[in-house]
Structure 1
Amino acid sequence: MLKKLGAEFVGTFWLVFGGCGAAVLAAGFPELGIGFVGVSLAFGLTVLTMAYAVGHISGGHFNPAVSLGLALGNRFSWGELPGYWAAQVLGSFCAAGVLYVIASGAPGFEAGGFASNGFGELSPGGYSMTAALVAEIVLTAGFLIVILGATSKNAPAGFAPIAIGLALTLIHLISIPVTNTSVNPARSTSVAFYAETAAVPQLWLFWVAPLIGAAIGALVWKLLLDDDATE
């Protein structure tokens, strides 16, 4: 079990450090900024690379919503869920702390939003709370369907990390303007505490919506799409 938790810690650290690091350090760099597309690719690549690196140890969740959805989809033990959530959140906080140390080394550094999520005034596009809630629920549900399908025993072997990484990239391409993209409560929680905005009071949405979305995605898969169940 310790190896599984260590893998989830390392994988979540990499996701937050790589994805949020791309947003904080590289997205707005004068003339060389990677923009929304670059940040979207960074998040997708973090999941893809760590899924191959440690997915065989822990399953490669790196996200409390994914762990919940997999438990609901009968792919993961409920007894392991608290430990996974703790490892994911801890890995996320460590990554955010390391990122802050690096980012604060730049002259004139201001944390600003620090890659945090938000709605209303904290939404990149000024989207409402309702829009943010719906986007996070729908996109997390879709993410879980991709994960459950790509890891099905009837799916082509060895390609799941690619499908999951590309799905996360697509999710970011859709929703960075809406919420700065969460679909991951751990990712949202850590960076919010380093932001100079009111990100922390809005954190509730970035736990509630992804967890609801994960439950919906797992339910849709089990009721309508689970080809394993027909074997």
Structure 2
Amino acid sequence: MLGTKGTIACLARARRLLRIRNRLVRECLAELLSTFVLMKKGWGGSSAQKITSFETKGDLFTTYLAGALAVMVGIYIAGGISGAHMNPAFSFAMCLMGQFPWWKLPIFAVVQTLGSFISAGAVYMLYYDAIWHYSNGTLTVSGPRETASIFATYPADYVSIANGFLDQVIGTGVVILGVMGIMDTRNKGVPKGMEPPIVALVILSVGCSMTANCGCPLNPARDMGPRLFTYVAGWGPEVFSRGNGWWWVPLIAPMLGAAVGTYLYQLFVAFHHPEEDSDVLAEQGSIVLVNTAIDQDIAMSPTQKDTGGTAAAESPPSPSASSTASPTVPVTPLKTS
């Protein structure tokens, strides 16, 4: 009993000493931990097991399942604190939607990359003996006993840079489309608290159908962090030259794919939701663009609204702006569960 009380008292003192009140720091810590879990429990650890174990070699579904489940765990860990982006491409999509401030994007990207780098180190330590045994004592980036692909992604020998780039744009776009649909409170939606496993299923479906070309990175941090680790850990500069200099594709293509997925969802779904009061949408945590002002010259009458008419939307002009200012669409903040 005394031991229990002493432990509780010790934890209470530690909490008082270590508790961080700065919101940005707390978000960065949560993002770091969730990204670490994503890579350690998911892609990195499962890839190491698949590549170095002759018994499980070729069991791709296990790798993708582990990655999807790691996404789910990461969201549960940090979803209510940082949003559990774990991916600069998703952070970029949230910026495009006005759900995330642009100034935080580079900070989150660095933190996510750092989490992936640390996770790669943890995977290397955990599978140290297996990696050196499998590689016959030589850390190689190509060849039949290469081990660099445990950490970063590389295209198949027959895949061109252009084809791989398109692969990543489409793959990331599909993921963002799915996430947008899940988070859209004016769409079908999912029960509160069930978002993580549903997102995991989206990741699993993409992993099972779009990974043959280049391993399906879909995440600049997931690829660059481990690639930097392999560079400094002994694999050398070939980690940047293999695949005709493939390394930049997982950095750029997922960001473009995130923009494509975001805007496709808006153009095909979100823009066509019925008009609703922006305060109501904010209370619901809507992730879609919200029309809050209608130009008086083209506004609909109540009769037109009832018959399904449409009207163009634009933001109220600033005091110094002219009446021909470029249309913009304000958004409501995202409420994370």
TM-score (norm 1): 0.89
Query: Aligned residue for 1:138?
Result: 170
Q: Secondary structure at the match of 2:149?
A: coil
Q: Matched residue pairs, number?
A: 227
- Structure 1 residues 29, 159: CA separation in 2 closer, same or farther (over 3 Å shift)? same
* Secondary structure class of the residue paired with 1:68: helix
Give the structure 2 partner of residue 199 of structure 1: 239
In the alignment, the residues of structure 1 paired with residue 86 and residue 239 of structure 2 have an alpha-carbon distance, to the nearest angstrom, of: 21
2:117 is aligned with 1:117 = no
Shift of 1:229: 4.3
* Equivalent position amino acid for 2:60 in 1: F
Residue 132 of structure 1: how far off its partner (Å) = 1.1
Match of 2:62 among 35, 38, 41: 38
TM-superposed deviation, 1:130 = 2.0
Partner letter of residue 211 of structure 1? M
Deviation per residue, 1:7-49 (Å, 9 max, x gap): 1111111111122110112455232457110011011001111
CA shift, 1:202, in A, is 1.9
Residue-by-residue CA offset, 1:131-160 (whole Å, 9 max, x unaligned): 211111001011111112211223222222
The yes-or-no answer on 1:220 pairing with 2:264 is: yes
1:69-84 aligned within 5 A = 69-84=93-108
Counterparts of 1:14-93 in structure 2, within 5 Å, are 14-18=37-41, 19-33=43-57, 35-93=59-117
TM-score normalised by length of structure 2? 0.63
Which of these residues, 25, 30, 49, is aligned with residue 2 of structure 1?
25
- Larger helix percent: 1
CA contact (8 A) 1:136 1:213 kept: yes
Of 155-164 and 104-113, more deviation after overlay is shown by 104-113
Q: Is the 8 A contact 1:27 1:36 kept in 2?
A: no
**2:35 matched to 1:12?**
yes
The CA RMSD over aligned residues, in Å, is 2.1
What are structure 1's unaligned runs of at least 5 residues?
Answer: none
Unaligned runs of 5+ in 2: 1-23, 140-146, 274-287, 292-337
Task: Tell me what 2:123 maps to.
Answer: 99
Report if the CA contact (8 A) 1:8-1:87 is conserved: yes
Aligned mates of 1:40, 1:184 — CA distance in 2: 14
Task: State the match for 2:298 in structure 1.
Answer: none
Of 155-164 and 165-174, the range deviating more from structure 2: 155-164
Distance 1:224 1:119 in 2: 32
Which of residues 195, 202, 209 in structure 2 aligns to 1:167?
202
The one-letter code of the counterpart of 2:175 is F
Q: Deviations over 1:47-86 (max 9, x none)?
A: 1111122211111110011100111122222122121111
Partner of 1:177: 212
Counterpart amino acid of residue 186 in structure 1 = A
Distance 1:79 1:188 in 2: 23
**Paired letter, 2:239:** A
| Of 173-182 and 89-98, the range deviating more from structure 2 | 173-182
Stretch deviating more after TM superposition (22-31 or 88-97)? 22-31
Runs of 4+ in 1 over 3 A off after TM superposition: 195-199, 227-231
